Homo-oligomer: A and B are copies of this chain.
Amino acid sequence: MHVIDVNIPQQAYKIAIAAPGLDRLGELMSELNLGKKVLLVSNPAIFKQYGERAIASLQAAGFDATSCILPAGEQYKTLTSVQKIYNAALEKRLERSSTLVALGGGVIGDMTGFAAATWLRGVNFVQVPTSLLAMVDAAIGGKTGVNHPQGKNLIGAFHQPRLVLIDPQVLQTLPAREFRAGMAEVIKYGVIWDAELFVQMEQSKRLDQMRYLGADLLQNILNRSCQAKADVVSKDEKEAGLRAILNYGHTIGHAVESLTGYRVVNHGEAVAIGMVAAAQIAVALGMLSSEDAIRQDALIQKAGLPTQLPTGIDIEAIIDALQTDKKVKDGKVRFILPTQIGAVEITDKVTADPVRQVLQHMRSVGK
């Protein structure tokens, strides 16, 4: 078992990476001095595959565990779904010492975390991420939330988990497109924080399906990505400064996701597009060498991720949407721009013109 410490003041917790790990959920939770009642939240497909093992592990450790199943998909990441968790929490008579466990991808984790943050003004929360994206990103750091009809994650709270349990074996059932979406965040860590991880991925012949990765590379991807995220959020829980670098690729990425109704590209694909755009903007502003931008784009393509905008998207609409991004401060859009592989800077000096030019070059050709 590989353990990573997240050292947030008053809320330190561990990320445990263990294969198989699912059967140790109850054992690891029983070290945390939690109340007896546990409500496990999942979606139908994930619960069918892994729910029974998780519940059995909890019960073997003496927990009084039941489940709440929500429909799968980003379109259900709403206050309405959270209300279903509230209703289950009420029916189960959860107490402040009780625990909500999220067994699923980022959507289940974000909603369950938000319910945990707000039920009785805060109950315990444990993350058991089942997608690569959730393992290396969403499950760590305490950002929880749901979508507003007009914007992603606009409603939310910071609420740290008491434990993140990652079982790499569950990735075997992850669809290839979702695996690639997770790889976008892994490539992000290489660009913003960990040049060595970046080089390790460059040396792999293929990155577009999990079965092409060596066992060592998969382990490094999980360990180093989780370590990068833990390092950053430990230094800046509430995104006062440093943590904003994790939004690399997300500024334009969110706009692309939102403007295509969250149906054309998934989150990872949108982040890949956003990283390509951000690197090009950095090149245009003389902050990054075009060689480094080419290296990044090559890695994104090797991971089977898009480097062009979805067909038909309105570039002016993207520029307008940037204004409603959570990262806006006094009307200025903050961009995270790379300066070399492994390092980024935060700037609010990017005007609309270079953004427009870069996006025009990223339009799909001939489609």
Contacts and interface: CB of A to CB of B under 8 A. Distances in A.
A326 interface: yes
A35 B95 contact: no
Interface string A24-40: 00000000000110000
A119 interface: yes
A49 B167 CA distance: 59
Contact of A119 (B36, B90, B154): B154
Interface stretch (A155-163, A209-217, A307-315, A346-354): A155-163
A83 B146 CA distance: 12
Contacts of A200: none
Interface in A29-64: 35-36
A254 to B, nearest CB: 13
A267 interface: no
Interface residues of A, number: 36
Contacts of A36: 330
A148 interface: yes
Interface in A219-255: 238
A203 interface: no
Contact of A86 (B153, B154, B328): B154
Contact of A330 (B97, B121, B238): B97
Interface string A348-366: 0000000000000000000
